[in-house]
Structure 1
Amino acid sequence: MTIPVLICDDSALARKQMARTLPKEWDIEITYATNGAEGLEAIKAGKGEVVFLDLNMPVMDGYEVLRTVQQQDLPAMIIVVSGDIQMQAHQRVKALGALDFIQKPVSADAITNILEEYGILTLAVTNAPVTEEAPLLEVDLRDACQEVANVAMGRAADLLAKLLDVFVLLPIPNVNVLEVSELTMALKATESSTKVSALCQGFIGAGIAGEALLIFHDSSFADMAHLMGMANPDNTNTEIEVLIDTGNVLIGAFLNGISEQLDMNFSQSHPVVLGRHCTVNDLVHDNSSRWKRTLAMEINYRIEGHNVQCDLLLLFTEDSLPTMNFKLGYLMN
């Protein structure tokens, strides 16, 4: 009996990776959804008896899908597949009725083990291969970079969550190729009037180089200092220490997440404080000579229940794009 399987993820790369790691002998019909709202409609239409569900998506995220399926008692066995590997994320999706959790990037063994554990895996006598819907599985550089950033973002958030015993709220990464004049506009989460302080750290690997920029909202220093157990949060030295310690965690873990996926290592320079208590416009203007045309990955981290908000921006040099294309080709094909 053919089982209707739904893969719900906003990333074409993630959908493609998920489809090709499902057991080839599994008798299924695959439907794809690019956000939670589409996914919910597919479930209601009977196209998602088994669902592989991402958490961070536009329109409706995975948590909202799980909550709706639970409230309406819809017939769907949902396995969450996410780059958000925080323990609280696991606990929250289980409480909302998810069967299990698989971390990205997915592996065929992990999927098969879970399907067998819950008695979902039924094999087709004909050993019919999984058919892929090519139009939905075309992957471009920006989409691939966004999915790589999504996984790396989750690694960094997990480390921060463990160190501070908090839950980190994660966005959909914003990835674009842009000119330095567009940097201010790229920082969507930062209002022009907001006072910020910033830290910069260079990184370099084989054919890939750039700078990581941590933009910390000044209103976040007191709460972050408290979470880190620091005294005198208004002290200048304490603010710089908070900035550097947060940068070490987020930048280091994010770069490690990227290096694992691209199978390469990065060396990092010493962090440099770029500006304090200024606006993003001032920050970009004063340092515009450092950046030209660049591939930018922007992630806005927030901590639930605390007034803590910071932007992590990775700026890759234009010379890095050919190597990025080459490395990502292995993921896209």
Structure 2
Amino acid sequence: MTVQVLICDDSALARKQMARTLPKDWDIELNYATNGAEGLDAIRAGKGEVVFLDLNMPVMDGYEVLQTVQQQDLPALIIVVSGDIQLRAHQKVKALGALDFIQKPVSADAISHILQEYGILELAQTSTETQSPMIEVDLRDACQEIANVAMGRAADLLARLLDVFVLLPIPNVNVLEVSELTMTLKATEANPQISALCQGFIGAGIAGEALLLFHDASFQDMAKLMGLANPDDANTEIEVMIDTGNVLIGAFLNGISEQLDMKFSQAHPVVLGRHCTVNDLIHDNAEKWQRTLAMEINYRIEDHDIHCDLLLLFTEDSLPTLNYKLGYLLD
């Protein structure tokens, strides 16, 4: 009997990767959804007997899908596939009824193992090869999925170091002119005062800067979580910025380098401004931020007044190498 399989993910690249890793001799009909609301509609229509579910999606996220399926007792076996690899994310999805959790990027062995472990492959005939439809993936979508996986690596490290749960957004990725970058930076201004840290990075054909915008209201909470004395001290604030930057920027770049199979060298972090406005920050640094590929991540820590924005700004000269590196994913 043909099994109705649903891949629910807002990333075209993630849907394509997931479809490629399914067992070739599994007799299924593949269905797709780009957000949780579409996913629930597909499940209710009988198109999601087995569901591979992302967590961070627009309209309705994966947690909300799991909660609805559990509350309404919908007929779906759900396996979460996500870049958010925090232990508490695993615990949350299992509590909401997910069969299991697979971290991105997925592998055929991991998928096959879980399907066999839960006896799902036994529900299908093995005489025909699955034919998956063509999925078009552009550079922006591919970069967003790369950023999504790297974001999860960075959040997991921060969560384990501080014993917290990091709330993750959908990464925002765009090729921006300097005027558009200015607008993006201004959009991150949740309060009048921020402090900023910058760290350059370079690899083979790829270079850029990582910019960490730290909302000043976050300093005291962050210092306490780090176990630092004198949270109001100016030196403590700089230490908080540098330590947070080392964790988030380092882990994020490592996540990207693993996926692109390349290494990055990082410069020493530089404090760009303390207790300044976004306008001041832009005015002082706009000359070096020209046309760029920008990855924007807004990190928040659950139950704490901690909010920081991480922007990775790749130089325009990096775009050809990024295109080449991502080529095998785009084909």
State the TM-score bracket (shorter-chain normalisation).
over 0.9
Q: Residues 193 and 167 (structure 1 numbering): CA distance in 2 closer, same or farther, change over 3 Å?
A: closer
Amino acid at match of 2:20: R
Q: Residues 152 and 125 (structure 1 numbering): CA distance in 2 closer, same or farther, change over 3 Å?
A: closer
User: What corresponds to 1:161 in structure 2?
Assistant: 159
What TM-score results when the alignment is normalised by the length of structure 2? Answer: 0.98
Tell me if the contact between 1:174 and 1:297 (Cα under 8 Å) persists in the aligned partners.
yes
Amino acid at match of 2:91: Q
Amino acid at match of 2:111: I
Give the counterpart of 1:314 among 312, 315, 320.
312
Q: Matched residues in 1 for 2:230 and 2:182: separation?
A: 32
Q: For residue 291 of structure 1, report the CA deviation from its aligned partner.
A: 1.1
User: What corresponds to 2:23 in structure 1?
Assistant: 23
User: What corresponds to 1:12 in structure 2?
Assistant: 12
Q: Matched residues in 2 for 1:29 and 1:125: separation?
A: 13
Q: For residue 158 of structure 1, report the CA deviation from its aligned partner.
A: 0.1
Matching of residues 113-152 of structure 1 within 5 Å = 113-122=113-122, 124-126=125-127, 128-134=128-134, 137-152=135-150
User: What corresponds to 1:253 in structure 2?
Assistant: 251
Q: For residue 193 of structure 1, report the CA deviation from its aligned partner.
A: 4.8
Amino acid at match of 1:265: K
Amino acid at match of 1:319: D
Q: Residues 125 and 60 (structure 1 numbering): CA distance in 2 closer, same or farther, change over 3 Å?
A: closer
Residue deviations 1:307-333 (CA, integer Å, cap 9, x gap) = 000000000000000000000111222
Q: Matched residues in 2 for 1:193 and 1:62: separation?
A: 30
Q: For residue 188 of structure 1, report the CA deviation from its aligned partner.
A: 7.0
Give the counterpart of 1:270 among 265, 268, 271.
268
Tell me if the contact between 1:187 and 1:298 (Cα under 8 Å) persists in the aligned partners.
no
Residue deviations 1:12-71 (CA, integer Å, cap 9, x gap) = 000000001000000000000000000000000000000000000000000000000000
Amino acid at match of 1:84: D
Matching of residues 91-106 of structure 1 within 5 Å = 91-106=91-106
Matching of residues 1-333 of structure 1 within 5 Å = 1-122=1-122, 124-126=125-127, 128-134=128-134, 137-187=135-185, 190-191=188-189, 193-333=191-331
Q: Residues 188 and 11 (structure 1 numbering): CA distance in 2 closer, same or farther, change over 3 Å?
A: farther
Q: For residue 182 of structure 1, report the CA deviation from its aligned partner.
A: 1.5
Q: Matched residues in 1 for 2:103 and 2:190: separation?
A: 36
Partner SS for 1:109: helix
Of the structure 1 ranges 276-285 and 307-316, higher mean CA displacement relative to structure 2 is found in 276-285
Amino acid at match of 2:271: V
Q: Matched residues in 2 for 1:51 and 1:94: separation?
A: 14
Q: Residues 189 and 229 (structure 1 numbering): CA distance in 2 closer, same or farther, change over 3 Å?
A: farther
Partner SS for 1:132: coil
Aligned identity (percent) is 82
Report the count of equivalent residues. Answer: 330
Q: For residue 124 of structure 1, report the CA deviation from its aligned partner.
A: 3.0
Of the structure 1 ranges 8-17 and 276-285, higher mean CA displacement relative to structure 2 is found in 276-285
Partner SS for 2:121: coil
Q: For residue 209 of structure 1, report the CA deviation from its aligned partner.
A: 0.3
Q: Residues 41 and 214 (structure 1 numbering): CA distance in 2 closer, same or farther, change over 3 Å?
A: same
Q: For residue 232 of structure 1, report the CA deviation from its aligned partner.
A: 1.1
Partner SS for 2:321: helix
Q: Residues 101 and 193 (structure 1 numbering): CA distance in 2 closer, same or farther, change over 3 Å?
A: closer
Q: Matched residues in 2 for 1:289 and 1:121: separation?
A: 57
Amino acid at match of 1:325: N
Partner SS for 1:287: helix
Q: Which runs of 5+ in 2 are unaligned?
A: none
Amino acid at match of 2:109: D
Q: For residue 125 of structure 1, report the CA deviation from its aligned partner.
A: 4.3
Of the structure 1 ranges 11-20 and 187-196, higher mean CA displacement relative to structure 2 is found in 187-196
What TM-score results when the alignment is normalised by the length of structure 1? Answer: 0.97
Amino acid at match of 2:236: T
Q: For residue 305 of structure 1, report the CA deviation from its aligned partner.
A: 0.3
Q: For residue 233 of structure 1, report the CA deviation from its aligned partner.
A: 1.0
